[in-house]
Amino acid sequence: MSSAFSHKIFLGCILLSVVIGIVFYPQLPSMVVSHWNIRGEADGFMPKFFGVFLLPLVLIFLFVLSVAIPKIDPLKNNIVSFRKHYNLFWIGIAGFLLYLYTLTIFWNTGYHFSFNLVLTPGIAAFWWFVGGMLIHSKRNWFVGIRTPWTLSSDHVWKLTHERAGRLFRYAGAISLLGMILPAQLAVFSALPAAGIALYSIGYSYAVYRRECRKKEE
């Protein structure tokens, strides 16, 4: 996917979120639900204006960030080498946030449903995009598993990210179990991802130490 095309998709997500917000704004209550707990119960609220337009603003910020990173990263040539997957990663973020935003708007207009159940496919797809980006990523300062050991070695970065990328794709599949038990969505989606993140830190150190021992020998 070219950068120009991915930028158009990202901007399309921003525009669509603004249009959705404007169209449904008159139908929304003065205080809109903005958060659901792990059981899918609404437990957080915010004024309508911020509830409708905060996420489009977040999307705008993320778009600017996605465009800026390949230009300001000291290792930007490495980003060029996996730019297709870098672009897909940001499209995955934009798509997931737009999906979450749409669900939130529909809920607040009175179309109540099992929020966790409907959100689960979006989470699964998001982890899949994360996994794909990690597998193909090269050493850089902004995206990926940035530990002292991955940033100091291309070899450690490669092994750590290939392992973590496959695990995040498994996490995406596991999170689909949340459609069977939506009340346990956090168990099937958030906990595996948190576990992978912690494991990856330890794994990167282990690979680094192994590399150092080989050099000493």
Query: What's residue 54's pLDDT?
Result: 94
Query: What's residue 168's pLDDT?
Result: 95
Positions of the chain with pLDDT under 50: none
| 31: enclosing H helix or E strand | strand 31-36
> DSSP assignment of 78-93, as one string?
HHHHTHHHHHHHHHHH
Query: What's residue 1's pLDDT?
Result: 65
CB neighbourhood size of 68 (10 A): 11
Instruction: Report the distance separating Cα 161 and Cα 140, nearest Å.
Output: 12
Length of the chain equals 217
Query: What's residue 92's pLDDT?
Result: 94
Strand partners, 44: 35
DSSP state of 36: E
Among 102, 126, 80, residue whose Cα is nearest residue 19: 102
Say if residues 164 and 145 touch (Cβ distance below 8 Å). yes
Query: What's residue 213's pLDDT?
Result: 86
Say if residues 52 and 28 touch (Cβ distance below 8 Å). yes
Give the CA count within 13 Å in the CB-facing half-sphere of 207.
23
pLDDT tens column, 133-144: 999 999 999 999
| 47: enclosing H helix or E strand | strand 42-47
Instruction: Report the distance separating Cα 192 and Cα 123, nearest Å.
Output: 12
